[in-house]
Structure 1
Amino acid sequence: MYQTELESVLQGTTYNIWELTANPHPSVKSKFKRCLDIVGSLVGLLILAILFIPIAIAVKLDSPGPIFFSQERYGLQGRTFHIWKFRSMVSDAERLKSLVENEADGLIFKNKHDFRVTRVGRFLRSTSLDELPQFWNIFMGDMSLVGTRPPTADEVAKYNPRHWQRLNVKPGLTGEWQVNGRSHIKDFEQIVDLDLRYQSNWHPLYDLQLIGRTIYVIMGRVGAF
């Protein structure tokens, strides 16, 4: 089914996407990585259960709308899944997106002073608490603790062959991009470089190193906005 969906997104491309994604990265078959994901996601879901009520109340009191935000993203080899986050923007944020200037270069969207982000949302983003629900995505196997940022359909529609190499690994809650600049990196090609560096450097212990560095970044709120 995902092949049909992806073909509809990639109409007009001049390359064979199925050849580009035919051989996933060795990390995809790593039992150690999957065990790490399961253990890590269970710990994360426990933290989510503890913090859910206060975060949910804060989100609802700050802005009308749902507690969670869900969006279709593209993961390993172009498979689609729905990513989950605590809602950090106004409920009609997608409709208002055209009113916000993109401060990034390339196939990502960033604006440091995005008016759609709520007061509580800014705090959730700066502390990465908005991403706690993604531990469910990790537990279900759509994501990994460490990987690459999962792109949206409009981004994927403009990918070239080099960009598609990002999706030879599972998307991650964290990765090279998050620990090497986070929101301060606004050039998509630089993000691709970091994602491909992760694939080149990967070994089981490397994920543990990146997780440790991620905790340091989050605690220090390095590069967040």
Structure 2
Amino acid sequence: MISQTPEVDFPITFFEDTAVMELPHRIAVLEAVAFKKAFQHLLLLKDALPEQIVLDCNKTTFIDSSGIGALVSNLKLAREKEIKLILQNVHPPMMAVLSITGLDRTLTIKSPVQDPSASPKKLSEKHLPTTHPSVRSWVKRSIDIVGSIIGLAITGVLLIPIAIAIEIDSPGPLFFGQTRCGWMGKRFKIWKFRSMCVNAEAMKAKVKNQASGAIFKNENDPRVTRVGRFLRRTSLDELPQFWNVLKGEMSLVGTRPPTPNEVDIYEVPAWQRLDVKPGMTGEWQVNGRSQVKNFEDVIELDLRYQQNWSLMYDFKLIAKTILILFRKNSGAY
């Protein structure tokens, strides 16, 4: 997916047991790949590893999901080598991203650059980057709100019969909540009508993964209940996600929301798919869905959505999704 590396310098200065790496003005996907390579190279420059590495962010005013991916990767590498990683001179735009992703609580941050015009509470709202035009589109957000309200009304009508069917077939909770990664990797809990047995997560290790890469699929997953198969085939299990859309964690149309376990094994370029909000539907939904078993294909579909996005494109994908729902065996396994 990445064919070249930009001419970006990452100047390194050594002070006794400390190495200081200067980061560039922006860290998008190409810079992020270079950032990871420069960090790995740093650990090979001297026979003795530094006790701590300081990332000087004084010039950095923009970072996207790929930059976050490179930062997470470098943090893991530093911990493996028992090296303390420190960020200093972090400007509000980068601090806002670290805040929404929770990395501000994981990383050691020294001397952050303060914005006197913004309170800590409003910091992230004011300085969050525009990683993709869809992120800041108020029209798209308005459509999401209206669509989610209509969707929740439909969900309310179908709630009782679905609840009765689930309880009779497999007694237990009506809803299933699972942690997923949204825009910039921010974690949220996605909601579905439960389509698997109660102890499905504990049984996952015993089920063979028929997909390749950072996704999990099994055509005959034994954890799926009889009612669950119907809900998945008709996509009724996903109706509660209208609540996620209303809250702004998801959009009606977007990319597939990955699990943290999937994101943990991403290479830096794969983080590009997190530059937009995840959606209830998208390219992956109308182009095979359960038949897409290769992670590289998922990435290609997600990036296609980002490249082609427009409000009209969203409407086309919604229309295609509605048509597909009426086809036999169009849903998930």
TM superposition score normalised by structure 1: 0.91
**Distance in 2, Cα, partners of 1:115 & 1:144:** 31
Secondary structure at 2:323 match in 1: helix
Give the letter aligned to residue 36 of structure 1: I
The residue number in structure 2 matching 1:155 is: 262
Give the letter aligned to residue 290 of structure 2: S
Q: How does 1:108-119 map to 2 (within 5 A)?
A: 108-119=215-226
Q: Which of 9, 32, 35 is 2:139 aligned to?
A: 32
**Stretches of structure 2 lacking an aligned partner (at least 5 in a row):** 1-68, 79-93, 99-127
**Distance in 2, Cα, partners of 1:201 & 1:157:** 27
2:253–2:314 contact (8 Å) kept in structure 1: yes
**Distance in 2, Cα, partners of 1:131 & 1:149:** 13
Deviation (angstroms), 1:127? 0.1
1:178–1:214 contact (8 Å) kept in structure 2: yes
Secondary structure at 1:220 match in 2: coil
2:176–2:191 contact (8 Å) kept in structure 1: yes
Q: Which of 178, 197, 213 is 1:71 aligned to?
A: 178
**Distance in 2, Cα, partners of 1:90 & 1:8:** 37
1:96-133 Cα distance to aligned partner (Å, 9 max, x none): 00110000011100001000000000000000000000
Q: Which of 191, 214, 224 is 1:107 aligned to?
A: 214
Give the letter aligned to residue 184 of structure 1: Q
Going by fraction, where is helix more abundant, 1 or 2? 1
**Distance in 2, Cα, partners of 1:13 & 1:174:** 35
Deviation (angstroms), 1:222? 5.1
**Structure number with bigger Rg:** 2
Secondary structure at 2:76 match in 1: coil
2:70–2:268 contact (8 Å) kept in structure 1: no
1:45–1:136 contact (8 Å) kept in structure 2: yes
Deviation (angstroms), 1:219? 1.1
Q: How does 1:59-208 map to 2 (within 5 A)?
A: 59-208=166-315
The residue number in structure 1 matching 2:322 is: 215
**Distance in 1, Cα, partners of 2:197 & 2:170:** 7
**Distance in 2, Cα, partners of 1:73 & 1:7:** 19
Deviation (angstroms), 1:223? 3.8
Secondary structure at 1:12 match in 2: helix
**Distance in 2, Cα, partners of 1:128 & 1:111:** 17
Deviation (angstroms), 1:221? 3.7
Give the letter aligned to residue 85 of structure 1: K
Q: Once superposed, which parts of structure 1, at least 4 consecutive aligned residues long, lie more than 4 Å away?
A: 6-11
**Is 1:43 paired with 2:117?**
no
1:41–1:136 contact (8 Å) kept in structure 2: yes
1:35-60 Cα distance to aligned partner (Å, 9 max, x none): 11011101100100000000011111
1:108–1:188 contact (8 Å) kept in structure 2: yes
Instruction: Give the number of the structure with larger relative contact order, counting CA–CA contacts within 8 Å between residues 6 or more apart.
Output: 1
Deviation (angstroms), 1:29? 0.5
CA RMSD, Structure 1 to Structure 2 (Å): 2.3
Q: Which of 36, 53, 76 is 1:12 aligned to?
A: 76
1:56-112 Cα distance to aligned partner (Å, 9 max, x none): 111111112100000111000111110000000001000000110000011100001
Deviation (angstroms), 1:184? 0.7
1:160-189 Cα distance to aligned partner (Å, 9 max, x none): 122100000000000000001111111111
1:88–1:121 contact (8 Å) kept in structure 2: yes
Give the letter aligned to residue 175 of structure 2: F
Secondary structure at 2:173 match in 1: coil
TM superposition score normalised by structure 2: 0.62
**Distance in 2, Cα, partners of 1:161 & 1:212:** 33
Question: CA separation of 1:114/1:36 partners in 2, compared to 1, >3 Å: closer, same or farther?
Answer: same
Going by fraction, where is strand more abundant, 1 or 2? 2
Question: CA separation of 1:23/1:160 partners in 2, compared to 1, >3 Å: closer, same or farther?
Answer: farther
